[in-house]
A and B are shown apart, each in its own frame.
Chain A
Amino acid sequence: MHIKILSFGVAKEICGGSVLQLEVPDNATAGEVKQLLTEQYPRLGGLASFLLAVNEEFAEPDTLLTPNDELAIIPPVSGG
């Protein structure tokens, strides 16, 4: 299935844009997508942390994805 992933902060620079398109197996999990992203953009693996959000909530690795989900790459946050 085809999914859309939002990207922010340093991740936006690493991935070259604020919206990524990715082809993943049906019933992929958040953990699998994170692995795919790390393979495609190895510099994500060098961050202090890198989490995925699904539908505006931090996702567990076993979270199942559907094509309409809104995914987002969350690099280390630094608000305040």
Chain B
Amino acid sequence: MKHNEMAIHIKISDTPLDIMACIGQVTGPACGGVDVFIGTVRDATKGKPVLRLEFEAYENMALREMRKIAEQIFERWPVQAVAIHHRTGILQIGDVAVVIAVGAAHRGAAFEACRFAIDTLKQTVPIWKKEVFEDGEVWVAAHP
């Protein structure tokens, strides 16, 4: 069964993400549950205070890889709609870096698909995060 293209919503934005708009994209009469993951900027990493984060994307490829994740979800779970929105630019503590919302007839598929989306995004989507500390800055996960 081919999924409806309208049911996939992918976005990369250098302005603040609208959580309710993301949820609205996956909410509909056939949905009995909507699961949402919101990734936010934490104030410390391994106990060291973080001042801010900077996100950079290879935008066209990142959009393609995000769409692939949504397509894989439709192949694996009975979901109605998937939205994946990611921020770029300079983010302050507490800012929203990523919003993933999945609407499905039943909650099990929505929970599992949402977790799959964020776990896979962290592995495959060409977006990079730099942590800025008081005494310097580090590209996350760059070195072993």
Task: Say whether A associates with B.
Answer: yes
Chain A residues close to B by CB (< 8 Å): 6, 8-10, 13, 46-48, 53, 56-57, 72, 74-80
Which of B55, B142, B144 is close to A79, meaning CB atoms less than 8 Å apart?
A: B55
Complex CA gap A80/B142 in Å reads 15
Residues A76 and B55 in contact in the complex (CB < 8 Å), given A8-B128, A53-B126: no
Residues A78 and B141 in contact in the complex (CB < 8 Å), given A6-B58, A8-B126, A9-B128: yes
A-B pair count, CB < 8 Å, reads: 77
B79-129 CB contacts (< 8 Å) to partner A: 86, 97-98, 118, 121-129
Complex CA gap A5/B98 in Å reads 28
Contacts of A74 in B (CB 8 A): 58, 126
Majority SS at the chain B contact face: mixed
Per the CB 8 Å criterion, the residue count for chain B at the interface is: 29
In the complex formed, the residue of A with least CB distance to B129 is A78
A80 near B128 with CB under 8 A, answer no
A57 to chain B, nearest CB (A): 8
Contacts of B61 in A (CB 8 A): 53, 56-57, 72
B58 near A48 with CB under 8 A, answer no
Contacts of B127 in A (CB 8 A): 77-80
B125 near A48 with CB under 8 A, answer no
A79 near B125 with CB under 8 A, answer yes
Complex CA gap A30/B129 in Å reads 26
Is B16 at the interface (CB under 8 A from chain A)?
Answer: no
Complex CA gap A76/B143 in Å reads 8
